[in-house]
Amino acid sequence: MLRSLSIRDFVIVDRMNLEFSSGFTVLTGETGAGKSILVDALALALGARGDAAVVRQGSERAEISAEFDARATGGLVRWLEANELSGDNGTLLLRRVIDGSGRSRAFVNGRSATLAQLREAGAFLVDIHGQHEHQSLLRSGSQRELLDACGGLVGQAARVAETYREWQRRREQRVSFERNAAAFAAEREQLEWQLRDLEALGFTQEEWQSLAAEHARLAHAASLIEAAQYGVETLSGDEVSAMSRVNGVIARLNNLLEFDAGLKDIMDSLEPARIQLQEAVHALRHYGERLDVDPQRLREVEHRLDAIHSAARKYRVSPEQLPLKLHETRVRLDELGTLGDPQALRELEDKARTACMAEAKQLSSGRAKAAKRLSRQVTEAMQELAMEGGVFEVALHDAAEPGSHGLEQVEFMVSPHKGLVAQPLAKIASGGELSRLSLAIQTVTSQVARVPTLIFDEVDAGIGGRVAEIVGKMLRQLGRQHQVMCITHLPQVAASADQQWQVTKSTANGRVLSAVTILDREQRVEEIARMLGGVKITETTRKHAAEMLGIKT
């Protein structure tokens, strides 16, 4: 959801900071006040083309920043992580700066980015209906994804993509073998020799740790024995040893204990020390008895270590990695065993293709049913939006060959009015018709549509009366599922909104400036009365406006 939009020195906007709410918001105002400029500014923040003409006269640069709540948009979160552009607490900040020379800079969460990255991020967040640059419904991939979502086929489409990748992997293996059969044979022969060599070595990670410890002990056996003997003698060897001295102190203090009870705490501290010394002497003596200087065993251990280090150098790994090298050799040989059999490769490829086609045919069946249902529902919605006799059709064109998206290409086809030939949605020339078609599609698919913010710029072009009221109700209904904004000249549409903003234009120091006011209830009555009555606003007009807003007078 769009949280805020900050605009600096853009066309006729000096400084503007807007805070957005959920639900349905309308922007109203006199013609030329700058309502569409706000949408144009947001489009720039989303990566639209821009040049020096957008910089306000007399300023050095234009700057637009848009802040979004990205927490509920899983695809965007993953995209930000993949591009190392994540922000804090699920916030996304898009910023665009265009200077007086036309040079443009883009930023995502404070990090420098490309315009393509702005567009990719924006595609997860906003659809601007009425301007082709940011309308996801015009993209073939988005149409296919929307159909699959409406039909509950997202999981099935994912399985088709997965089985297709497996089929292509098996195909590449077969083609690679046919091109490189001699190279595979040479590699297999080398790996077989390598496997025999490593198996003959019979080396394990546990043996490496044991050998290292044993070699350290054998190589320093004499020093260890000498140290153990020195410790025993120093601690308990004669009358001046540590043990004798501690025992002497304890005996002497014990004789004096009857004269001063304060010596009791000291005696209690010395007794554990005496016991620990005795245990240390016993342990050192036992340790020294177990040690043995064995030159023959030392030579055997060193010979084994030499063999291990030699093998490690041969295969360019550390000694600890030799068991892993053996495992990798076996795995690769198993692969080459299959790759070395052309018939087996063809069978694996055929099996993968059969699995992919089975999943794709199931997806096609589901798409055909979903296409009929979506076509009917959108066509019905069109009849209420001043497009009587118009027809919407989800066309499924057979693909030249199966692909990761299935056996067909999805295309939204439209005949806006009775008697007109259906053509792709992207070729609808009228901005008003395109916006109303988008409204119909978005209303029908609102439960599954993924883009959280929808902006309609020309949805009221060429309509009025009953149709305008229907458009307003549709937008309000859509606002229960999405954040919806609409620029409108129609009071019927404005009266349906949850919030209403008024865009005004003024002149200061010879320059035209645009401003936005968030209207309260009384101000909404005045603005809708203006939209109803034109220049002269009467009490009757105000009563009509209040009635449209559901306000009792």
Q: What is the pLDDT at residue 132?
A: 46
CA distances from 72 to 134, 150, 523 (A): 20, 19, 34
| pLDDT over threshold 90, residue 410 | yes
Q: What is the pLDDT at residue 94?
A: 93
- 124-160: b (≥16 Cβ within 10 Å) or e: bbbbbbbbeebbbbbeeebbbbbbbbbbebeebbebb
Q: Is 110 within a domain? A: yes
Instruction: List the CATH number of the domain containing 85.
Output: 3.40.50.300
| pLDDT over threshold 60, residue 194 | yes
Lowest model confidence (mean pLDDT) among 65-79, 189-203, 236-250, 301-315? 236-250
Residue with tokens 């077969």: 174
Q: What tokens were used for 329?
A: 């050799």
Residues 210 and 286 in one domain: yes
pLDDT range class, residue 428, cuts 50, 70, 90: confident
Q: What is the pLDDT at residue 396?
A: 94
Domains in the chain: how many in total?
2
Q: What is the pLDDT at residue 183?
A: 72
> Average pLDDT, stretch 521-537?
84
The residue that leads in pLDDT, 222 or 452, is 452
| Residue 354 backbone phi and psi in degrees, to 5 | -60, -45
Q: What tokens were used for 223?
A: 């020093």
| Kind and range of the H or E run holding 440 | helix 431-444
Q: What is the pLDDT at residue 395?
A: 93
CA distances from 305 to 208, 213, 219, 222, 300 (A): 8, 12, 13, 21, 9
Q: How many CA atoms lie within 13 A of 158 on its CB side?
A: 5
Residues 81 and 205 in one domain: no
> Average pLDDT, stretch 171-177?
85
Residues 197 and 317 in one domain: yes
Residues 117 and 191 in one domain: no
CA pair distance 371, 368, nearest whole angstrom: 5
Q: What is the pLDDT at residue 550?
A: 83
E strands present in 70-140: 91-99, 104-108, 111-113, 126-129
Residue with tokens 């078609």: 437
The parent domain of residue 108 ranges over: 1-125+498-516
Q: Is 388 within a domain? A: no
Domain endpoint, select from 284, 315, 338? 338
Q: What is the pLDDT at residue 222?
A: 54
Q: What is the pLDDT at residue 471?
A: 85
Q: How many CA atoms lie within 13 A of 74 on its CB side?
A: 1
pLDDT range class, residue 239, cuts 50, 70, 90: low
CA distances from 97 to 18, 72, 80, 115, 511 (A): 18, 27, 21, 11, 22
pLDDT range class, residue 133, cuts 50, 70, 90: very low
Residue with tokens 């009467």: 538
Lowest model confidence (mean pLDDT) among 32-41, 221-230, 436-445, 541-550? 221-230
In tens, the pLDDT along 505-518 reads: 888 777 777 888 89
Q: Is 92 within a domain? A: yes
In tens, the pLDDT along 65-79 reads: 999 988 767 788 888
Q: What is the pLDDT at residue 263?
A: 80
Q: Is 473 within a domain? A: no
Residues 112 and 210 in one domain: no
End-to-end CA distance of the chain: 35
The residue that leads in pLDDT, 274 or 227, is 274
The residue that leads in pLDDT, 44 or 420, is 44
Q: What is the pLDDT at residue 357?
A: 94
Residues β-bridged to residue 126? 453
Residues 196 and 93 in one domain: no
CA angle 486, 492, 494 (to 5 degrees): 35
| Residue 19 backbone phi and psi in degrees, to 5 | -110, 130
Residues 229 and 309 in one domain: yes
CA pair distance 69, 443, nearest whole angstrom: 23
Q: Is 101 within a domain? A: yes
Q: Is 524 within a domain? A: no
- 488-514: b (≥16 Cβ within 10 Å) or e: bbbbbbbbbbebbbbbebeeeeeebbb
| pLDDT over threshold 70, residue 150 | yes
Lowest model confidence (mean pLDDT) among 180-194, 298-312, 331-345, 395-409? 331-345
Q: What is the pLDDT at residue 65?
A: 94
Domain endpoint, select from 338, 369, 400? 338
316 close to 130: Cβ distance less than 8 angstroms: no
CA pair distance 178, 172, nearest whole angstrom: 10
Residues 201 and 304 in one domain: yes
pLDDT range class, residue 319, cuts 50, 70, 90: confident
pLDDT range class, residue 498, cuts 50, 70, 90: very high
Q: Is 330 within a domain? A: yes
Q: What is the pLDDT at residue 534?
A: 65
Q: What is the pLDDT at residue 449?
A: 67
| pLDDT over threshold 70, residue 268 | yes
Lowest model confidence (mean pLDDT) among 361-365, 367-371, 387-391? 387-391
Residues 90 and 216 in one domain: no
The residue that leads in pLDDT, 507 or 1, is 1
Percent of the chain with pLDDT over 90: 21
By C-alpha distance, which of 483, 412, 449, 442 is closest to 130? 442
Q: What is the pLDDT at residue 290?
A: 66
pLDDT range class, residue 355, cuts 50, 70, 90: very high
Q: What is the pLDDT at residue 105?
A: 92
- pTM for the complete prediction? 0.60
CA angle 535, 536, 542 (to 5 degrees): 115
Residues 192 and 117 in one domain: no
The residue that leads in pLDDT, 281 or 353, is 353
501 close to 518: Cβ distance less than 8 angstroms: yes
By C-alpha distance, which of 111, 120, 109 is closest to 87? 109
The 8-class DSSP code of residue 321 comes to G
Lowest model confidence (mean pLDDT) among 160-174, 303-317, 349-363? 303-317
Cβ atoms within 10 Å, residue 549: 17
Q: What tokens were used for 249?
A: 């102190």
CA distances from 40 to 13, 130, 145, 314 (A): 12, 11, 27, 65
Long-range contacts of 216-223 (CB under 8 A, 24+ apart): 217/291, 218/294, 218/297, 218/298, 218/301, 219/298, 221/291, 221/292, 221/293, 221/294, 221/298, 222/293
The residue that leads in pLDDT, 180 or 208, is 208
Domain endpoint, select from 295, 316, 338? 338
Q: Is 3 within a domain? A: yes
Query: Residue 502 contacts by C-beta under 8 Å, 6 or more apart in sequence?
Result: 27, 28, 29, 516, 517, 519, 523, 527
In tens, the pLDDT along 284-295 reads: 777 666 666 666
Query: Residue 397 contacts by C-beta under 8 Å, 6 or more apart in sequence?
Result: 408, 409, 411
